[in-house]
Amino acid sequence: MGESAVDSRFIFERNLLALSTRNPGLCSRLTTAETTLGRYRFPEARSGEIIPALRDGSGTAHPLHSMVDPRREGERLVSTLKDEGFVVFLGLGGGFAVEAALERDDIFMVLVVEYDINGVAELFCSKEYVKILGDPRFLLMVDPPPEALGACVLELYQPALSGGLRVFPLRARTGRDAARFGSAAQAIQDSLEKISADYSVQAWFGSRWFSNILRNLKTAESQNLSVAPIRAAAICAAGPSLDDQLPLLASRLEGKDRPFVIAADTSLPCLLKEGMEPDAVVSIDCQHISCYHFMGTGARKIPLFLDLASPPLLAGFSDSPFFFSGGHPLALYVSRYWRPLPRLDTSGANVTYACLSLAESLGAEHIEIFGADFSYPGGKVYARGSYIYPFFERRQNRFSTFEGLLSAFLYRGPFLPPENPGAGRAYYETAAMRQYRKRLEEKAALMEAGVYPVPGGGAPVEIRQTGEKRRREPRAPKLFASGRARMSAGEFLSRYRAGLAALEIPRRGALLQDPAAEKRELLTTLLPQAAAFRRRRPELSAAEILREVKEYSLGEIDRVLLSPGLPRLQEAMSK
């Protein structure tokens, strides 16, 4: 074996050793990859750096970097970053721009996407990438399917900490594999659209979610409701079409196979007004305006399913409040370390989606959805009997009439052109409503149950349940119930407070890749609040935002521990 072959093997082994700590799966794949296929040639730049040059079908080699000074070229590229702390490189090449990015303290995460495992193995034989492979902010993905890449971006990109996201394609590399890198870019863009929608909500409600969860723990400690599995469900949203669909719902309730009726909180007064009492009500909004759905309804005997981040006052409207864990990281932390709460998928960001998730969790095989317009058909905003009509009646005066208030509510945001102009339906649809509808359609299409939206006058809900439905192993139906609390709510809060107080805020995003899982989870519970703080204080760095969020959170916990119904702070901290 020649000297150059020995050197290449030595370099390859050093790279694999550095990679194995944080990415053992990729390391294992590279050990079986071919390194002698000649995907690359490796000429030397004028500055002395080794440059990967990709060979085409005719054998011509195309350098991926400057043949004069590739390191300076990488530094210039990275210098164009402003507030983008999450950087995606399409193509690894010699890693010069990657190194330049990781040298900056304001870079939160660097993700590199590459294709052709054998080509990557050749690169690993050509030069040492040990410096970047050992950085906890670096991740290399090789041959990722678009859905896996999208899921990775959804998991790792935290706008509250890293600010913006920038994609840098290595043109000489991506141009030689345009189809796969194009699919990667589209997957990243699709994930960004989802993150943007979720982040905007976090920026407005992150602090409120946190405060509500803390104050709901005492009530959640004593909840003991459980729900048996069901076969059929009727979900009631509060779109204007519900007015015309109520007779059909009434006929379903009189039949032999009566469905389990799940009402979105907005639709509750509409149903009760017509003498129909649902079997369950679901609420996920963290705002206190949700109380208007329950005031004066006399619905105390109806089980109320609440996201743990719901306003604490809502639990008082039912004798049977039942808290579940939505997507908030603090709710997931509570469920992991205190009391296991049932998990409902609330990622659709609307209560009808949450109702569908509850029906799925209860094992329903046939689900009908009433009043799901996801638009304003004929300029109407909600079904009759919903909160908005008495709410505006009380607020109207000579200068702001009832009709004016409804009109202002209807036109508070821009409308989208209809997707199918020739359908003959007259309705107004916003970007948020369309997104809600699309998410519900995507979820329903993958469910085992048959989901059947009742046609109305709004945007048509089209569920194409094809062969892509989820396949599961047969399992016995289970009760929908909470697990046993491991300790009192006060003791849990005191332990959570102690963990936050001891948590050191890193200068960079490395703690999110910390091997201590609980440290990562503690930091993650603060991220929605960090989004809210960044909206108010955009000039702060990620570390400064996290420090402020940490201090605010400790203060909120102290206020809850000192409130009636929980042990006093001094007693709790002494346990």
Return the exposure string of 439-453: e unless at least 16 CB atoms fall within 10 Å of the residue's CB, then b: bbbebbbebebebeb
Which residues, 6 or more positions from 384, have their beta carbon under 8 angstroms from its beta carbon?
243, 270, 273
For residue 250, what is the enclosing H or E element?
Answer: helix 242-254
Q: What is the pLDDT of residues 69-78, one digit of tens each?
A: 999 999 999 9
Region 328-349 average pLDDT: 94
| Per-residue DSSP letter, 208 | H
Question: What confidence score (pLDDT) does residue 422 get?
Answer: 57
Compute the C-alpha angle 157/159/161, nearest 5°.
100
106 or 382, greater pLDDT = 382
The two three-digit tokens of residue 186, written as one number: 């589209």
Burial class (CB in 10 A: 0-12, 13-18, 19+), 27: middle
Which residues, 6 or more positions from 12, have their beta carbon under 8 angstroms from its beta carbon?
35, 121, 124, 125
- The answer to whether 173 and 91 are in contact (CB under 8 A) is yes
Q: How far apart are CA 232 and CA 344, in angstroms?
A: 18
- The answer to whether 92 and 123 are in contact (CB under 8 A) is yes
Which residues, 6 or more positions from 400, have their beta carbon under 8 angstroms from its beta carbon?
none
Largest Cα–Cα distance of the chain, in whole Å? Answer: 94
Q: Residue 444 carries which side chain, given as an amino acid letter?
A: A
- The answer to whether 470 and 445 are in contact (CB under 8 A) is no
Is 80 exceeded by the pLDDT of residue 142? yes
Is 70 exceeded by the pLDDT of residue 1? no
Is 60 exceeded by the pLDDT of residue 134? yes
Question: What confidence score (pLDDT) does residue 257 get?
Answer: 86
pLDDT > 90 in the chain, percent: 71
Q: How far apart are CA 151 and CA 78, in angstroms?
A: 25
pLDDT band at 467 (very low <50, low <70, confident <90, very high): very low
Region 172-190 average pLDDT: 95
Is 50 exceeded by the pLDDT of residue 575? no
Q: How far apart are CA 91 and CA 174, in angstroms?
A: 7
pLDDT band at 570 (very low <50, low <70, confident <90, very high): very low
Question: DSSP letters of 461-509?
Answer: ------TTS----------EE----SS-HHHHHHHHHHHHHHPPPPSSG
Region 76-93 average pLDDT: 94
Q: How far apart are CA 189 and CA 228, in angstroms?
A: 41
- The answer to whether 236 and 267 are in contact (CB under 8 A) is yes
What are the φ and ψ backbone dihedral angles of 7, each rounded to 5 degrees?
-65, -45
Q: What is the pLDDT of residues 95-124, one digit of tens each?
A: 999 999 999 988 989 999 999 999 999 999
Is 50 exceeded by the pLDDT of residue 571? no
Dihedral sign for Cα 403, 409, 415, 420, please.
Answer: negative
Question: What confidence score (pLDDT) does residue 169 get?
Answer: 97
Average pLDDT, the chain: 89
Q: How far apart are CA 299 and CA 234, in angstroms?
A: 18
Which residues, 6 or more positions from 548, have their beta carbon under 8 angstroms from its beta carbon?
533, 537, 540
Rounded to whole angstroms, what are the CA distances from 526 to 291, 329, 417, 555, 569? 26, 8, 38, 13, 21
Q: How many residues does the chain have?
A: 575
| Per-residue DSSP letter, 262 | E
138 or 158, greater pLDDT = 138
Ranked by mean pLDDT, the top range of 1-5, 36-40, 72-76 is 72-76
Return the exposure string of 216-226: e unless at least 16 CB atoms fall within 10 Å of the residue's CB, then b: bbbbbbebebe
Question: What confidence score (pLDDT) does residue 199 get?
Answer: 83
* CA-only gyration radius of the chain, Å: 28
Least confident residue range of 52-56, 295-299, 354-358: 295-299
Strand partners, 481: 226
pLDDT band at 173 (very low <50, low <70, confident <90, very high): very high
Q: Residue 574 carries which side chain, given as an amino acid letter?
A: S
pLDDT > 70 in the chain, percent: 91
Region 62-70 average pLDDT: 96
Q: What is the pLDDT of residues 474-505, one digit of tens each?
A: 455 567 889 999 999 999 999 999 999 998 87
Cα–Cα nearest to 207, from 520, 496, 534: 534
Region 555-559 average pLDDT: 96
- The answer to whether 368 and 234 are in contact (CB under 8 A) is yes
Dihedral sign for Cα 468, 473, 477, 480, please.
Answer: negative
Is 80 exceeded by the pLDDT of residue 423? no
pLDDT band at 572 (very low <50, low <70, confident <90, very high): very low
Q: How far apart are CA 156 and CA 152, in angstroms?
A: 6
